[in-house]
A and B are shown apart, each in its own frame.
Chain A
Amino acid sequence: MNYVLIFIGAAIVNNFILSYFLGICPFLGVSTDLKKASGMGFAVTFVMVIAASATWGIYHKILVPYNLQYLQNVAFILVIASLVQFVEMFLKKFIPPLYKGLGIYLPLITTNCAILGLTLFMVIKDYDFMESLFFAFGAGSGFLLALLIMAGIRVRLDSADIPGPFKGAGIALITAGCLALVFMGFSGMMK
């Protein structure tokens, strides 16, 4: 039950994009069409789960026992960066179809604050290993969901008559605000 709550909490109630503001850059950058949005969303979910398991191990088995928590930021970002590189090479070699789908989005993920944010939240909330995995999976799914909804809306925005200065980023941010309002409706679901 606990796992289900963590999943729903990360995916919908505390959606990473719409209530923690993590991963806004790709949210605005690739939400221009549905295909790109789903590719990015799946790639982020994939990396999130792997990064969560790797950094959980490093934090609880190496940094905590040796009292090195202050290295957390440096360690996490390096782990994420090398992990992304490794995943990219692995997919290219062993699962080419998946690489074709996700490949171009992987390098962009290194500087995606959603991944580092996820690992930092994992430490702050003091999750155990399984909880972290569900948290990561939920956060990734929420990211994908928000990206898909946004892409769907933006396709229609293209043909709308918007005042000049608000074209592009301005209207996208205001739309995201309306989406955040909608997602607020879920906030009563969890205490």
Chain B
Amino acid sequence: MKELFKGIFEKNPILYYLLGLCPALAVTTNVKNAVTMGLSVIFVLFFSNVIISIIRKTVPHQVRIASYIVVIATFVTIADIFIKANYYEMSRALGPFIPLIVVNCIILGRAEAFASRHGVVSSMLDALGMGAGFTLVLCFMAAVREILGSGTFFGMKAVPGFFPQFLVMILPAGAFITLGLIVGLHRAVDMRIKKRDSGVKREAVR
């Protein structure tokens, strides 16, 4: 259970490890894009973690990174082609960011740090937790940016008409500033929790 939940808040891949920032910044202009991206990452992360965990004993140590990349690239290609075939508009909107999941540090990072050392079941849970943490942050960022920037949520009108729209929020600058604030906020909350629990010794989870 710890494997599943650690990725969602405490060791969130984006906010704690600062991994996978490129997609987090690029696709969060609206919630729809963010959900698509999050689901693609969960898909790729889950299956590559499972495969890598299965083959971890047979792959020689020297060529492991190269073989992980091939496994990951295969699943990314599947996701890419699936989105192109079924949601063409979405694939146009996300541009190269779906293929770029290949070099998303979250996936290679989890493969190297977790799946290559743990059994299949805990790798699955790890992938789901990390993927969920990633998707949640993505959706949260996208919601903030979409509501403030274009006044909509999931494409529907979300704020009263007199509310001003901050164009900067859907521009690149808004992405950096939103993420910076969220990272700061996450750390502030985390510090508070740590302080409260300082009596209880927390076990370091990797």
Are B172 and A19 within 8 A (Cβ)?
A: yes
B158: Cβ under 8 A from any A Cβ:
no
Which chain A residues border B66 with CB–CB below 8 Å?
A: 78, 81
Per-residue 0/1 for A99-124: is the Cβ within 8 Å of any B Cβ (1 yes, 0 no)?
A: 00000000000011100110011001
- Grouping DSSP codes into helix (H, G, I), strand (E, B) and loop, the B interface class, with mixed when no group exceeds half, is helix
Q: Do A113 and B103 touch across chains, with their CB atoms under 8 A apart?
A: yes
A96 contacts the other chain (CB 8 A): no
The segment from A46-54, A87-95, A153-161, A163-171 found at the interface with B is: A163-171
Q: Is B122's beta carbon under 8 Å from chain A?
A: no
Closest to A162 in B: B184
Name the distance in Å between B65's Cβ and chain A's nearest Cβ: 8
Produce 1/0 per residue, B158-190, CB < 8 A to A.
Answer: 000000000010011111110111011101100
Q: Check B177 against A81 for contact (C-beta < 8 Å).
A: no
- Contact call A22/B73, Cβ cutoff below 8 A: no
Number of CB contacts from chain A to chain B under 8 A: 123
The answer to the question of A63 belonging to the interface, with a C-beta cut-off of 8 Å to chain B, is no
Tell me whether A124 and B95 are in contact (CB under 8 A).
yes
The residue among A73, A77, A176, A179 with the most chain B CB atoms within 10 A of its own CB is: A73
Contact A113 B185 (CB under 8 A): no
Q: How many residues of A contact B (CB 8 A)?
A: 43
Q: Does the CB pair A70–B172 fall under 8 Å?
A: no
* SS class, residues of chain A in contact with chain B: helix
Q: Which B residues touch A34, using CB under 8 A?
A: none
**B172: chain A residues within 8 A (beta carbon):** 18-19, 21, 180, 184
User: Across the interface, which residues of B come within 8 angstroms of A19, CB to CB?
Assistant: 172
Residues of B within 8 A of A184 (CB): 171-173
Find out whether the CB atom of B96 lies under 8 angstroms from the CB atom of A173. no
How many angstroms between the C-alpha atoms of A176 and B18 in the bound complex? 15
Identify the B interface with A (CB < 8 A).
18-19, 21-23, 25-26, 66, 69-70, 73-74, 76-77, 80-81, 95-96, 99-100, 102-105, 108, 168, 171-177, 179-181, 183-185, 187-188, 191
The 9 lowest CB-CB distance pairs between A and B, nearest first, are: A173-B180, A177-B176, A170-B184, A177-B177, A174-B180, A120-B96, A165-B188, A180-B173, A165-B187
Beyond A71-B77, A169-B18, A173-B183, 17 extra complex contacts between A and B, CB < 8 Å: A24-B21, A70-B81, A73-B76, A78-B66, A111-B103, A116-B99, A116-B100, A117-B100, A124-B95, A165-B188, A166-B183, A166-B184, A166-B187, A169-B183, A174-B177, A180-B173, A180-B175
